[in-house]
Amino acid sequence: MKIHEYQAKGLLKGYGIPIQDGVTIEDLAQAEAAIDAVNKEHGAEQYVIKAQIHAGGRGKGGGVKFSSSREAALENIKKILGMTLVTHQTGAEGRLVKKVMVGEALDIKQEFYAAITLDRSKGMDVFMVSSEGGMEIEEVARTSPEKIIREAIVPGFGLRGFQARNLAAALGLEGQAAKQAVGMFQKLYKLYRELDCSIVEINPLVVTEQGNLVALDAKINFDDNALFLHPEIAQMRDLDEEDPAEVEAAKYHLNYIKLDGTVGCMVNGAGLAMSTMDIIKQVGGSPANFLDVGGGANVETVKNGFRIILSDPNVKAVLINIFGGIVRCDRIANGIIEAVKELDLNVPVVVRLAGTNADVAKELLAKSDVSIISADSFEDAAQKVVHAAKG
Amino acid sequence: MSILVNKDSKIIVQGITGSEGSFHATQCLEYGKNVVGGVTPGKGGQTALDGAVPVFNSCQEAREKVGANVSLIFVPPPFAADAIMEAAAAGIELIVCITEGIPVAQMVEVKAYVATTGSRFIGPNCPGILTPGEAKVGIMPGFIAKRGSVGVISKSGTLTYEAVHQLCAEGLGQSTCIGIGGDPIIGTTMLDLLKMFEADPETDAVVMIGEIGGSMEIEAAQFAKDHITKPVIGFIAGQTAPPGRRMGHAGAIVSGADESAAAKKKLMAECGLIVVESPADIGRTVKAALK
């Protein structure tokens, strides 16, 4: 799960980590009060207005504006709040900005990068820093990987003091700033572990002209599997930032991801679902979605799956590919028959059922009066559905 | 021969009194006749599976009383990490965890702990292990497989069934099929199993079904280049997956250029693996490789 910058900064603050502070608003009517509050509470006379969306690259897209005065801040809030922000992570359609953060502007001397995430191949968390702050870290990793310094965290031991000192030294920090960095890095790891984060990224982490270390931006993602341990974090979810069809699907325990093709897919199991998308592409079509109906597929899941797939107007045909293990194909067949009757489908449906009770299922489909294109193999199914989609 | 499990395995099921646990334990017992008990804390002394097997309070007790050496875990996510550690602490040789949804940070710690014991751990979030005709430790449908000489390693569940189905259609049976799980942290890697299949005299070829995300397929392929003599047939699911989106499995997410399907397939081919482009060609490709 992702959260906004202002929410991430709130969590950092709770762990005693210095942040670029501010006030977040959703309504233009709150703008003046927000600027006044930032002025009063943080002594700011200059401001930074930052769009709050779940995507990187906000600055380049025009969603972050320095404002040298109260008037400029007000002007920038008007510009950003309600704009459709397009960044390299939002896609061409962009994202509507519904919240902006009015932040204190800081005098920056140096910018760094700091992040914690899981190193899957080592099976350990890794704390990374780089002197190349503010840049896209993927770019740094590609062009000058030696500039990213890593400390692996031994499971159960946390980020040790010597490791934090190594990281601070790698950034060339000395004296007061080094001391602040050691404390901050250890608190950051504590937050990461205690809240079951999947990534904590501070980019940039800055040293101000006054010599203080401050998190200027903050990105935190959480492990979805662990949200049951953190109800207060789960509440931070912003459904406005997610695809409505994906949110709807999750209500029915369906795993749906919208793509931009024309062939809708309904499959059991993530690996088979991905492969189904792949084979559609290989035979000349394009998948409209990823949809895993999971291990407990029944009449209801099939119906809901159909509704969600067909909510996408680009879908020209649907492929159902079920390999019955625990799931019985005859039950799936009944679900398909019921759904087709009930939902008044106007696109061709290709069905391929294999595994448990597949023969019974095929008979059920053949005997029913619903119009379904039956397929025998994986390949046959893909060819038939792509053909049907091209109509 | 086979790897990991056979007819002599003595299997216990942790969480045997739950609905998932009892359903699948029954299937495993019917398949291999080698489920010897179950563990549910507080229910020791009762029986499960219609009186067929005893229930114990702990893995330690199950090991002492019925000589359990394999544990199959169906315990719900909040308690699963603890169940894995309990089995390892009791000296159970092979632990297979089916449970989906265990917090990743807990798995990091569990994996580090299990490494200090002598146990081998498979999963979590996996379909388990099937040695056709001998033992089923998990949820794979037994009837789709038949005994033979192809080893199957997979990150997926139903895609494994698809591969097994294709192999059987080509007249090829399997020595052992293992679903290793689609989570970011798993107990046993593709590389670990590749080494075991290389050492297994019954296995003539290995099918390795990977997916986007992580670097496990690459590590296995790089090792195979110089150390594996048997043909390895590789497939990577997710060539159409957009970067940065989690495709069902928590681990199936492209977070760097080298985690894409195209990059993995390229490297696998460079390491001398036989790469299958279409998921419909897995069976045919293995057949050709064995000629």
Q: Verify that B61 and B186 share a domain, yes or no.
A: no
Residues B278, A278: C-beta atoms closer than 8 Å: yes
- Residues spanned by the domain of B271: 145-289
Tell me how far apart the alpha carbons of residues A75 and B14 are, in angstroms, rounded to a whole number. Answer: 63
Tell me how far apart the alpha carbons of residues B121 and B132 are, in angstroms, rounded to a whole number. Answer: 20
Residue B245 lies in a domain: yes
Q: Verify that B174 and B233 share a domain, yes or no.
A: yes
Which of B122, B155, B173 is the last residue in one of the domains? Answer: B122
Mean pLDDT within A102-109 = 96
Q: Verify that A115 and A171 share a domain, yes or no.
A: yes
The amino acid occupying position B181 is G
Q: Verify that B118 and B152 share a domain, yes or no.
A: no
Q: Which of A118, A124, A269 sits opposite B158 (nearest CB)?
A: A269
Name residue, tokens 């200059």.
A46
Q: What kind and span of H or E run contains B89?
A: helix B77-89
CB contact B161 to A (< 8 Å): yes
CB contact A382 to B (< 8 Å): yes
Q: What percent of chain B has pLDDT over 90?
A: 92
Q: Both tokens of residue A381?
A: 């199914």
Q: Both tokens of residue B122?
A: 């498979």
Quick: pLDDT tens for A13-51: 999 999 999 999 999 999 999 999 999 999 999 999 999
Name residue, tokens 């795993």.
A255
Tell me how far apart the alpha carbons of residues A204 and A226 are, in angstroms, rounded to a whole number. Answer: 27
Residues A118, B242: C-beta atoms closer than 8 Å: no
The vertex-A113 CA angle with A109 and A115, nearest 5°, equals 150
Q: Verify that B150 and B279 share a domain, yes or no.
A: yes
Chain B neighbors of A253, CB-CB under 8 A = none
Q: Verify that B90 and B182 share a domain, yes or no.
A: no
Quick: pLDDT tens for A279-307: 999 999 999 999 999 877 778 888 899 99
Residue B63 lies in a domain: yes
Residues B211, A355: C-beta atoms closer than 8 Å: no
More confident residue, A334 or A299: A334
Question: Looking at the annotation, which residues of A are catalytic?
Answer: 113, 201
Q: Residue B5 pairs with which residues in a beta bridge?
A: none
Tell me how far apart the alpha carbons of residues A352 and A109 are, in angstroms, rounded to a whole number. Answer: 62
Q: Verify that A271 and A201 share a domain, yes or no.
A: no
Residue B136 lies in a domain: no
Q: Say what the pLDDT of residue B258 is.
A: 83
Q: Verify that A174 and A263 share a domain, yes or no.
A: no
Quick: pLDDT tens for A171-218: 999 988 999 999 999 999 999 999 999 999 999 999 999 999 999 999
Name residue, tokens 């875990």.
B73
Q: Verify that B237 and B151 share a domain, yes or no.
A: yes
Residue B278 lies in a domain: yes
Q: Which of B108, B161, B212 sits opposite A123 (nearest CB)?
A: B108
Question: Which is it for the CA torsion A117, A119, A125, A131, positive or negative?
Answer: negative
DSSP character string of A256-307: EEE-SSSEEEEESSHHHHHHHHHHHHHTT--BSEEEE--TT--HHHHHHHHH
Pairing status of strand B35-39 against strand B120-122? unpaired
Residue B138 lies in a domain: no
Q: Say what the pLDDT of residue B255 is.
A: 75
Tell me how far apart the alpha carbons of residues B270 and B236 are, in angstroms, rounded to a whole number. Answer: 15
Q: Verify that A214 and A289 share a domain, yes or no.
A: no
Give the CATH number of the domain where residue A287 resides. 3.40.50.261
**Pick from A166, A152, A159, A167: nearest CA to A122:** A152
Residue B133 lies in a domain: no
Q: How many domains does chain A have?
A: 3
Tell me how far apart the alpha carbons of residues A76 and B277 are, in angstroms, rounded to a whole number. Answer: 51
Residues B237, A138: C-beta atoms closer than 8 Å: no
Sheet strand arrangement including B53-56: B47-48, B53-56, B35-39, B11-14, B70-73, B94-97, B120-122
A30, A41 contact by CB (below 8 A): no
Residues A154, B239: C-beta atoms closer than 8 Å: no
Tell me how far apart the alpha carbons of residues B120 and A162 are, in angstroms, rounded to a whole number. Answer: 33
Q: Verify that B51 and B105 share a domain, yes or no.
A: yes
Q: Verify that B166 and B97 share a domain, yes or no.
A: no
- Residues spanned by the domain of A87: 21-105
Give the CATH number of the domain where residue A36 resides. 3.30.1490.20
Q: Say what the pLDDT of residue A224 is.
A: 94
Predicted confidence (pLDDT) at residue B70 exceeds the cutoff of 80: yes
Q: Verify that B174 and B284 share a domain, yes or no.
A: yes
Please enumerate, as own/partner, the contacts of A282-285 that have beta carbons within 8 Å and a separation of 24 or more.
A282/A382, A282/B277, A282/B278, A283/A379, A283/A382, A283/A383, A283/A386, A284/A386, A285/A261, A285/A382, A285/A385, A285/A386, A285/A389, A285/A390
pLDDT band at A146 (very low <50, low <70, confident <90, very high): confident
Which of A193, A213, A241 is the last residue in one of the domains? Answer: A241
Mutate to test the interface with B, among A139, A272, A292, A379 (most CBs of B within 10 A): A272
Q: Verify that A116 and A194 share a domain, yes or no.
A: yes
Q: How many domains does chain B have?
A: 2
Predicted confidence (pLDDT) at residue A134 exceeds the cutoff of 80: no
Q: Verify that B230 and B94 share a domain, yes or no.
A: no
DSSP character string of B180-233: --SSSS-SS-HHHHHHHHHH-TT--EEEEEEESSSSHHHHHHHHHHHH--S-EE
Q: Verify that B78 and B115 share a domain, yes or no.
A: yes
For B:197-216, CB contacts with A below 8 A are 209, 211-212, 214-216
A73, A32 contact by CB (below 8 A): no
Residues B111, A155: C-beta atoms closer than 8 Å: yes
Q: For the packed helices B216-227 and B261-270, what is the interaxial angle rounded to 10 degrees?
A: 10
Q: Verify that B83 and B185 share a domain, yes or no.
A: no
> What is this model's ipTM?
0.93
For B:247-266, CB contacts with A below 8 A are 247-252, 256-257, 261
Give the CATH number of the domain where residue B39 resides. 3.40.50.720
Chain B neighbors of A286, CB-CB under 8 A = 240
Quick: pLDDT tens for B19-66: 999 999 999 999 999 999 999 999 999 999 999 999 999 999 999 999
Q: Verify that A227 and A140 share a domain, yes or no.
A: yes
Name the residue of chain A whose CA is nearest to B159's CA: A272
Tell me how far apart the alpha carbons of residues B237 and B210 are, in angstroms, rounded to a whole number. Answer: 6
Mean pLDDT within B151-165 = 95
